[in-house]
Amino acid sequence: MWAEELDETTAREVGELLFAAREADGQPEGVTAPRGGLHLLARESGELAGYAHLDTAGDSFGRQVAELIVHPDHRGRDVGTRLARALADRVPAKELRVWAHGDHPAAARIAEREGFRRARELLIMHTPVRDDWPEPMLPPGISLRAFVPGQDEQAMIEVNARAFDWHPEQGSLSVEDLTSAEAESWFDPAGFFLAERDGRVVGFHWTKVHPAHPRRFGGEPVGEVYVVGVDPDAQNGGLGKALTVAGLRYLRERGLGQVILYVESDNLPAIAVYGRLGFTRYRSDIQYEH
């Protein structure tokens, strides 16, 4: 059943399904039904067995992106296959992408059987907090300061758009998206670093802290190198590494013991930098294309 909006009862059911999946897998992070787009529900004997959300607004390249989750008690019963087929029937070939978090073997089997191919791999890298993270070495003429809500949104978004014009999600970040994030409980302007040259923002490092979860990272809170962006005009001078280290040292000062980050698997220069800072591969999420 497709739905543009979920009533209160169904939204609660979806939240319970997402919570059960997170308890079993450590994913997804959120346990509330996403807003907007289309919702696809699969039921068995009246119970919600599976759920898919289709982001019809699309990514930066116009592709519709889906998340597909099967309740742990209903796995192995072709629920995921039925949801995948329904998504493929609705969206034209090569205009649909579907996430499989954790590169789960069952998702790979469904993808192969239903005509999906691996189109993107997003690595999750991890490191224990280290004492040898150095002072950030800023290029000449560059200074660092903290983000100021209500003042810096437009400047950050402009740099972000130039730095991530190639990225399916990050490149389309808007001022409205940023101000919405500022209202979240995890938002911390003191951990949001801006790099300036001659009064103009040329880079940023936005950090994030995830609360403890028993299925992830030993049940401890974990910091994240959420987004590091550098204006193309300021690249290749060491600013990206300096911003990264500044954020890592801040997360260490907050008393966190672990840090994660997400990076595209084909971004070899970034992976090399992160490797030298102690990060190793932890998990990967796969995006399939139909």
CB atoms within 10 A of CB 9: 8
Strand order across the 96-100 sheet: 2-3, 38-44, 47-55, 64-70, 96-100, 280-289, 117-128, 258-264, 222-230, 200-210, 192-197, 142-146
For residues 49 and 80, give the distance between their C-alpha atoms in angstroms, rounded to a whole number: 9
Residue-level pLDDT at 66? 96
According to the annotation, is 275 in a ligand binding site? no
β-bridge partners, 67: 53, 99
According to the annotation, is 262 in a ligand binding site? yes
Which of 274, 228, 262 has the alpha carbon at shortest distance from 27? 262
- Please give the structure tokens belonging to residue 5: 């909006």
Determine contact, residues 28/52, Cβ cutoff 8 Å. Answer: no
According to the annotation, is 228 in a ligand binding site? yes
Q: Given a cut of 70, is residue 64 above it in pLDDT?
A: yes
According to the annotation, is 69 in a ligand binding site? yes
Q: What pTM does this model have?
A: 0.87
Question: Containing H/E element for 177?
Answer: helix 175-182
According to the annotation, is 70 in a ligand binding site? yes
Q: What is the mean pLDDT of residues 184-213?
A: 95
For residues 13 and 137, give the distance between their C-alpha atoms in angstroms, rounded to a whole number: 50
DSSP type of residue 114 = H
Residue-level pLDDT at 253? 97
For residues 88 and 255, give the distance between their C-alpha atoms in angstroms, rounded to a whole number: 46
Q: Given a cut of 70, is residue 207 above it in pLDDT?
A: yes
Domains of the chain: 2-115 (3.40.630.30), 126-283 (3.40.630.30)
Residue-level pLDDT at 70? 95
Q: Given a cut of 80, is residue 215 above it in pLDDT?
A: no
Residue-level pLDDT at 233? 92
According to the annotation, is 17 in a ligand binding site? no
Q: What is the mean pLDDT of residues 223-238?
A: 94
Interval 26-51: pLDDT, tens: 778 777 888 889 999 999 999 999 99
Interval 87-137: pLDDT, tens: 999 999 889 999 998 888 889 999 999 999 999 999 999 999 999 999 999
Q: Given a cut of 70, is residue 254 above it in pLDDT?
A: yes
State what percent of residues in the chain have pLDDT above 90: 80
Interval 138-181: pLDDT, tens: 999 999 999 999 999 999 999 999 999 999 889 889 999 999 99
State what percent of residues in the chain have pLDDT above 70: 99
For residues 195 and 166, give the distance between their C-alpha atoms in angstroms, rounded to a whole number: 21
